[in-house]
A = this chain, B = another copy of it.
Amino acid sequence: MAQRACPVGLLATDYYDNIHTFIDEASEDGHDFVASPLAHPSFRRFIEGTEEIDAMNSWRDSPVFQRKDLIVKSPKYSDLLVGVLAAWYRFDSPDHELQLNSELALKQELAWASHLGLLSVMLPVLPEKNVTNMARVLNNTMASISYTQLWIKVPVTSKEGGESPWKLWNRIRTLTEHSTKIHVALELTKDLPDDDELDRWLAEPVKALIVPHDVFVANPKQYPVLPKPHQDFVKIVMDKLRPNILVTLPEVPSFQNASPVTYHEYIRFLNRNLPELDAVDSFAAGYRDYLQAPLQPLMDNLDNSTYETFERDPIKYQQYEEAVYRALLDRDPDATKKTVVMVVGAGRGPLVDCCLRASERSKRDIHLYALEKNPNAFVTLQNKKEEEWQDKVELIFADMRTWKPSHQTDILVSELLGSFGDNELSPECLDGAQKFLKDDGISIPAAYTAYCAPLSSTKLHNEVASYKDLEHFETPYVVMFQQVCALADSKPLWTFDHPNPVFPCTPEGNPVNNLHNTRYQQVTFDVAKPMTMHGLAGYFESVLYKDVMISIHPDTHSPGMFSWFPIFFPLQSPVQVPAGAQVVVDFWRLSDKKKIWYEWAVVVKNKNDQQDLSITAIHNPQGRSYWVGL
């Protein structure tokens, strides 16, 4: 739980002459921190140029604060303080002087905040339409400030007739190249927009959530609480983004039992009562939005710790056991035969255990082989045989693609799946192994399908961008999604079926080449709300046997299974997807004699007239940045 605790602070609604008293009182009432203006309203005269001309000129030439223009005059309490910047900036003014004064004053305030050592400052107003000059000023100013971070206050709903705040934020973010120093302080309003619009914020760098007092309502006992839709959204944001939370207090108590303490206490109550983490979430806690290079289990040998991690999955082995169980019943309905079962890629043996349990439960006799090519895992297999399995299992140390079997099997069991299904070369390995399988034999899995969906995530984009090279933008990552939002539901790309009877073989039964394992698919997504697309989410769904499935696809995810996180294919340059546009994704699985790789490209089209709005490059041509070795 503690890891989901959000600090709760008090946002000043006035300019306090004695900021220290304000902070003391706020702390005594139990707030973790406060947010207060740094400068006094008198500072406004410089921004608006109403100061007398000589003073104005000398300020413009070298801006310095006069003590009387400051509310926060010293670094005392600076660890408890978020500085709120002046509210009178007019970066969008047609008056160049006003623009320029705003820029000079903002620099001055930020320099002061940085001198005080403030961790964060908040810009309290967005321009109504034109944010470009503001984006430029923020970008340039923040570049020279090393420590302090900026939050921009953005309301969740637009003013009557005003621009969508998300659209303004989206421009700022894109114009500043997704600056990692500029974040969102999302302000709740009495009315909330629909869920789609709220969900978009989950893909944004929301560092603070502002809950103004007028959003609270009274509960039957006359304490301040949030309406249900606000509660729900606050909880989701707490769970996914762990923001700082800022409440404001009314000047006069709104409800009978409302006191300065009750607002933050209610927020903390919500925070304590987030839904329990399920098995997957607890497992994933440390991995959220953390990019991992996908495994190369064929070229490399997996570590002991990797085996240990995925062997803890409570669901995967259950499903495999069930699949083998059903296959054994079908294969030997009268329990008269001895069914040959071969686990290929046995690792440290858990699928061998599944087969033994299935045999026991089905009361069907089996002859069990376990094949593995990793010499280290093979030692563990030998230990298990010595200590546990003994005669029940025969071990084979070999690569399934080249091993020459002495006889054939009824059931071939394997788990060579990656997050995208085929990305750990299951198709290539099983093509080699299917020569062990009798003509009417069963492969478990019988099939797997790759899925993809367009995805928005400032966080993931910035993680990839931090490497500052093209290569990392042409590499997929295994990642537990957290601060993301899909632009549309995912769609299937391609399927691999096993056994596969249709490719040309050598006399030994091996595929002559790998052409039959190449794939190409174009899928089109309709997008309802404007979004920035940063990449593609990838998933798989696999039929183990008949209706026994495993899936990491959001709609069909096997509950509690945590062996696989989704896969993320980034886009080099994020693309804008306006409302009602279509995202056309082209995806390829390609191969030469030594490797397989993926390429992907995106075209954003206007749905009505089919005009092209954005076209990306084809990513990873010839596997130049990323490939999986055969």
Contact = CB atoms under 8 A, between A and B. Distances in A.
Interface string A588-615: 1000000000010101001001011111
Interface string A608-630: 01011111111001100000000
Interface residues of A, number: 54
16 contacts: A96-B519, A99-B520, A100-B518, A132-B586, A133-B586, A136-B588, A136-B599, A139-B618, A139-B621, A171-B603, A171-B612, A174-B615, A175-B617, A176-B617, A578-B613, A579-B611
A259 interface: no
A198 interface: no
Interface in A138-194: 139-140, 143-144, 167, 170-171, 174-177
Interface string A474-489: 0000000000000000
A105 interface: no
A130 B584 CA distance: 11
A621 B139 CA distance: 7
A588 B96 CA distance: 11
A361 B254 CA distance: 86
B618 A606 contact: no
A1 interface: no
Given A104-B515, A530-B611, A578-B612, 12 more contacts: A96-B518, A100-B515, A130-B522, A132-B522, A132-B618, A174-B617, A175-B615, A177-B617, A576-B615, A578-B609, A579-B611, A613-B614
A515 B144 CA distance: 19
Contacts of A135: 601, 618
Given A130-B522, A520-B96, A61 B614 contact: no
Contacts of A96: 518-520
A40 interface: no
A60 interface: yes
A518 B133 CA distance: 13
Contact of A520 (B133, B176, B611): B133
Interface string A226-263: 00000000000000000000000000000000000000
Contacts of A579: 611
Contacts of A171: 603, 612, 615
A522 B175 CA distance: 14
A512 interface: yes
Interface of A: 57, 60-61, 96, 99-100, 104, 130, 132-133, 135-136, 139-140, 143-144, 167, 170-171, 174-177, 504, 512-513, 515, 518-520, 522, 530, 573, 575-576, 578-579, 586, 588, 599, 601, 603, 606, 609, 611-618, 621-622
A62 to B, nearest CB: 9
Contacts of A530: 611-612
Given A576-B615, A606-B578, A140 B515 contact: no
Contacts of A599: 136
A292 B397 CA distance: 65
A171 B515 CA distance: 27
The 5 A-B pairs with the shortest beta carbon distances in the complex, nearest first, are A578-B611, A174-B615, A57-B504, A177-B617, A132-B586
A160 to B, nearest CB: 17
B613 A513 contact: no
A601 B60 contact: no
Contacts of A174: 615-617
Contact of A612 (B133, B139, B167, B622): B167
A573 B470 CA distance: 13
Given A96-B519, A133-B520, A622-B143, A612 B175 contact: no
Contact of A140 (B167, B170, B603, B622): B622
Nearest to A505: B57
Nearest to A622: B140
Nearest to A504: B57
Given A578-B606, A578-B613, A60 B513 contact: yes
A519 B133 CA distance: 11
A492 to B, nearest CB: 15
A621 B61 contact: no
Nearest to A177: B617
Contacts of A615: 170-171, 174-175, 576
A96 B503 CA distance: 14
A142 B513 CA distance: 23
Nearest to A586: B132
A504 B61 contact: yes
A336 B140 CA distance: 56
Contact of A132 (B132, B601, B606): B601
A625 to B, nearest CB: 13
A136 B576 contact: no
Best-surrounded residue of A171, A522, A611 (most CB of chain B within 10 A): A611
Contacts of A614: 575-576, 613-614
A116 B612 CA distance: 38
A618 B136 contact: yes
B61 A513 contact: yes
A612 B57 CA distance: 39
Best-surrounded residue of A167, A606, A612 (most CB of chain B within 10 A): A612
A96 B502 CA distance: 14
Contacts of A601: 132, 135-136, 175
Given A578-B612, A622-B140, A60 B515 contact: yes
A612 B576 contact: yes
A589 to B, nearest CB: 11
Nearest to A530: B611
